[in-house]
Amino acid sequence: MSLPDVLTVLYSREINCGLSCFWDGGWDVWIGDELNGFCAAATVDLIADAAVWFAEAAAVIFPNADLPWAAPASPRRWRPDHAKQTPSRAMLKPV
């Protein structure tokens, strides 16, 4: 699925998420929000990897969300191997 498709599904399931970038620093991606807390966060190098990360992380965090890409019997990785976990939520807060 494309990034717009994944984000549209997450939005329709009321799953809060976001992404931001800083030139040459990759893409910060997260599921959750400041009000309710963050469930997962990572940094990916390519925007195409953000769609994969969102899909895989959402399937793990929300196994009952009826996500179209999640097979119930399929084991999920927490994050793609090429993603780097962010060290803290402070990196995700707006300035």
Domain ranges of the chain: 3-92
Q: Smallest Cα–Cα separation from 12: which of 4, 20, 23?
A: 4
Q: Radius of gyration of the chain from Cα atoms? A: 13
Q: Which helix (H) or strand (E) holds 60?
A: helix 47-61
The position carrying tokens 């097979």 is 71
- One digit per residue, pLDDT tens: the chain, 95 residues? 899 999 999 999 999 999 999 988 999 999 999 999 999 999 999 999 999 999 999 999 999 888 998 765 444 444 444 445 543 444 444 33
21: amino acid identity, one letter? C
Structure pTM? Answer: 0.73
Residue 65 and residue 59: Cα distance in Å, rounded? 8
